[in-house]
Structure 1
Amino acid sequence: MSEFLFPTRPAKGIPVEGEARNFPINRIFCVGRNYLAHAAEMGNVPDYEAPFYFTKAPTHSVLSGANVPYPPGTENYHHEMELSILIGAPAFRISQDDAEQVIYGYCASLDMTRRDLQNASKADRRPWDTSKDFEDGAVFATASKAEAVGAIKDQRISLSVNGETRQDASVAELIHSVPAIVSDLSKFYHLEPGDVIMTGTPAGVSAVQAGDVLRGEISGMAPVELTILAPE
């Protein structure tokens, strides 16, 4: 007999190149406004002093190649192409110099956003949860191990919708670098193997509709793909 009253959702994982087993998703942290041009297009001023964060539930994640319905409660559903960091060792109050030692790998990912709900929440000074943390709202491609990727410096990050490029930038434009993000987040949490950090999106975010096919790419990594279906 199970110790739980109801069945629980199965754990989620991310495939890893060269591995038979998946990277387990423990927690999903997201960095906001981490590209200057994206902050500007959203009418925001980025914080250069430190990153700020929001979260997504691991159960709301899906893998690249998924077909997902247009979500309920929105008429302005946006794509946000991102580099994700996969944590592979415990880290608490780690320095930037040591931060890369706890990174297992990286992957291309999508932070899908119900933009109209986010704008309404910001206008009312309320949390963003309904705009960011919803079913199928985080999409992950097959991961690459850190040693295979090498240093995160100037890799191209881009996204197309139905073959038309909408986002195209360099990860060198990150306001807060990968080591800076890991170090800063570890001041607030005991980071654990399986934690995922989505590092923010470049400019060019825009709405998608049912029938659209999204493809995001980061140099040297597997692409992330998503097809939007009709609402349920």
Structure 2
Amino acid sequence: MQADTVDGSTFKVRRIYCVGRNYVAHIHEMKEGDERDPPFFFQKPPNALVRDHGTVPYPPLTEDLQYEVELVVAIGKGGRNIALSDALEHVFGYAVGLDMTRRDRQREAGRKGLPWEIGKSFDYSAPCGAICPAAKVGHPATGAIRLLVDGRLRQDSDISLMIWKTPEIIANLSRQYELQPGDLIFTGTPAGVGAVVPGERLEAQVGTLPVLTVEIGPLRA
């Protein structure tokens, strides 16, 4: 799968990693975990990617499809056991993403002690906007992170409130997996997550990065 970049080229996506529970307020609203638990990761398949102005078909097996706006890190240089001080050297750029979630399936799996894949790792579950190279945008450490549904503000926070910052995420993840160029890392969502229905338009914003807009399509049979 290919992600877009702001200069019109494409970024070949290898893997999609996601960070769980990375904003205190979101941990509280979900009533899960401890605020300083070590970061944990899950994955979505590369074909979960949806480009800007694409459509997210409403998935089967859920009555509670929810949005989660996130800062996305695009890896340009691979490595294992990356030092915290070197982590940002491995970043190609940044984008705005959505971690679409079948919340009812996720919660059911959690209650049963089963893996999360059915709630997180389904088709069209990882919309991602155009990637802006770090050479142009720097390495965002502060900036508004917002999600609007049909123009109504639903999530409103700041990426400075991430528990684990971008260098820490990269360093921790590289101890579990060998990172490669083409990897995307969704860095977690703030509070305010909620359900969407077919026909609604989602607009995701992070700082000065290109806005990501998608529409929720009809139920995918």
1:15 maps to amino acid? D
User: After superposition, where does 1:94-113 map in structure 2 within 5 Å?
Assistant: 94-113=82-101
Q: Which has the larger radius of gyration?
A: 1
For 2:14 and 2:57, the matched residues in 1 are separated by 25
1:70 maps to amino acid? Y
1:14 maps to amino acid? A
For 1:153 and 1:230, the matched residues in 2 are separated by 36
1:13 maps to amino acid? Q
Identify which range, 178-187 or 56-65, moves more after superposition. 56-65
TM-score (norm 1): 0.92
- How many pairs were matched up? 220
Can you list the C-alpha shifts for 1:125-163, whole angstroms capped at 9, x where unaligned?
Answer: 111000001110000100100122223221110000000
4+ runs deviating over 2 angstroms: none
Which of 185, 191, 211 pairs up with 1:203?
191
CA contact (8 A) 1:34 1:46 kept: no
Residues 1:189 and 2:185 are matched in the alignment: no
Which of 115, 132, 151 pairs up with 1:144?
132
Deviation at 1:78, TM superposition (A): 0.1
For 1:26 and 1:212, the matched residues in 2 are separated by 30
User: After superposition, where does 1:48-127 map in structure 2 within 5 Å?
Assistant: 48-127=36-115
For 1:190 and 1:67, the matched residues in 2 are separated by 32
Residues 1:175 and 2:175 are matched in the alignment: no
Can you list the C-alpha shifts for 1:11-68, whole angstroms capped at 9, x where unaligned?
Answer: x1111112x4211100000000000000110011235252101100001211111123
Runs (5+) with no aligned partner, structure 1: 1-11
For 1:113 and 1:138, the matched residues in 2 are separated by 9
3-state SS, counterpart of residue 228 of structure 1: strand
**Corresponding residue for residue 31 of structure 2:** 43
CA contact (8 A) 1:107 1:141 kept: yes
Which of 225, 228, 232 pairs up with 2:213?
225
**Corresponding residue for residue 7 of structure 1:** none
2:2 maps to amino acid? G
**Corresponding residue for residue 5 of structure 1:** none
Identity percentage of aligned residues: 37
